[in-house]
Amino acid sequence: MVAPARLPKRLKVYFDGGCRPNPGAMEAAVVARGVTQISPTLGYGTNNDAEWLALILALEIALASGVEDFELLGDSAVVVAQASRAWKCGSADLQHHFDRFAAIVGTRKWPRVKKIARAQNLAGFALAQTHER
């Protein structure tokens, strides 16, 4: 009899958002368990709006995975600090994104949102590959 595959204890979900120009057309990428999801058309906004939308998508993917122990990894110092509740949102637009994030979290334990270097962000690599050099 073959034992069922064990899931990793902690799911790492990488997120990145961007826009061209800033402000401009927004896009986002999320990578979880080696699967990349690209959202190429998120409307018009700033780089911080795009990062927040990427983080919200990462949270939704993490919750849909069924894994309770996960961390959301991104390279935006502003968004990570706001989502971690270390900094207050400086504008109504960013507060709106925080409120949406908090509503999705609901009564669950607040998720770990961690700042990583851009060179470690798998979602950033995925997003960069969608553009010609």
| pLDDT on residue 10 | 86
Helix (H, G, I), strand (E, B) or coil at 83: helix
- Collect all residues with Cβ–Cβ distance below 8 Å to 6 and sequence separation of at least 6: none
Low-confidence ranges of the chain (pLDDT < 70): 1-8, 133
Q: The pTM is what?
A: 0.92
**Half-sphere CA count of 97, side-chain side, radius 13 A:** 26
Nearest-angstrom CA–CA distance, 57 and 73: 12
| pLDDT on residue 48 | 97
Nearest-angstrom CA–CA distance, 127 and 89: 25
Mind listing the pLDDT tens digit for each residue in 49-67?
A: 999 999 999 999 999 999 9
